[in-house]
Amino acid sequence: MNKSIIFAAALAVSAGVANAQITPNSVWYDGDSKITCKSVSGNTINCDLDLWGEDSEKFTLTKTAENKFSVKGSAEYSSFERKKLAEYRVVDGNKLLIFKDSKGNILETFEYSDDVDMWEPYILKGYNYILNGEYVDESGTKYSIDGDEFVMGSKVMNFSLDPEQYYLMEMSDDNYYWWKVSTTGINIYRSVDGEYGREPGALWHKLKNVSPNGRWEFLTSDIVPGNAMWRFNSELIRLMRNEIYARHGYVFNSADLKTYFGKQPWYKPLNNNAAVKLSAIETLNVEILKGNIVAREGTDDEEIEEGLK
């Protein structure tokens, strides 16, 4: 029997989920990037990483243990410089290829798809996670964003997001606007013509998130999309990570977290942190968000652990 077939079959048995392994021609997305596993040679899987709008990069996964791999990029300046380890994991039915640094911190998470044309939907899904919610502006006018619908008071407008222009939105009023995440919500700017195309202009609306069930409710049921997280700064990532705990009534020691979550109407502290139990998806999201902070800060996880919770 062909060695490639034997190795692919071994992966399928070890993970215990049929037709969902790191096999030749399998495709994985994280939003901004797509991985295609091309072929298997012995214990090594040959893959391509495609970044949105850029040339592809070849890399290999070499099996080191059950569902675990070492990672090696082929380019001189490789996207895999910090990605030393990889793991195949199934979480609540989601088949994942998880990349980690040498210390085991999650740097990127890719989701398996049987559709090779899912790139743009994955990008837009990440944007929707960021934008969806209920808001209020400085004047008290209420807004809501849900999918492709932007509601401003009694006025309803549809909008579209451009996968190639991360922060650009086109409204059904035929105007373009730029959005940027803030500590309290989203700021939206008018678009103006600049030297190199459209650029952010004057602030249009400063929106404060007032969603009754919390700003990032999706963290309890959906895996954090990689492309979405780089639209947040470290302060917001920290709040996101701790919102997962807060939803279970976790009592915080850090004064700023006590103050922040104490103002949330949905937060009900239990005064018994030992009783806090996270779901499989929540546990993974905590790992992803922690790894995101480590990656951007460039510090060891021990140095930021106190700041994480």
pLDDT for position 252: 94
Tell how far CA 92 is from the center of its chain. 17
Tell how far CA 70 is from the center of its chain. 23
Low-confidence ranges of the chain (pLDDT < 70): 1-20, 52-54, 76-77, 116-123, 162-166, 227, 297-309
> Residues for the chain: how many in total?
309
Place of tokens 């013509």: 193
Single-letter amino acid code for the residue at 169? M
pLDDT for position 51: 77
Span 195-204, pLDDT tens digits: 888 888 999 9
Cross-strand bridge partners of residue 33: 51
Q: What is the DSSP string of the chain?
A: --HHHHHHHHHHHHHT-TT-SS-TTEEEE-SSEEEEEEEEETTEEEEEEEETTS-EEEEEEEEEETTEEEEEE-STT-TTSS--EEEEEEETTEEEEEEE-TT--EEEEEEEES-TT-HHHHHHHHHHHHH-EEEE-TT--EEEEETTEEEETTEEEEEEE-TTSTTEEEETTS-EEEEEE-SSEEEEEEEEEETTEEEEEEEEEEEEE--TT-TTGGGGTSPPPHHHHTTS-HHHHHHHHHHHHHTTTPPP-SHHHHHHHHT-TT----S-GGG----HHHHHHHHHHHHHHHHHHT--HHHHHHHH-
Relative orientation angle of helices 280-297 and 234-246, to the nearest 10 degrees: 160
The span from the CA of 77 to the CA of 112, in Å, is 26
Closest CA to 61 of 93, 90, 107, 24: 24
Residues 81, 105 contacting (CB under 8 angstroms):
no
Residues 82, 59 contacting (CB under 8 angstroms):
no
pTM of the entire predicted model: 0.80
pLDDT for position 183: 83
For the chain, what is the largest distance between any 2 Cα atoms, rounded to a whole number of angstroms?
Answer: 71
pLDDT for position 16: 34
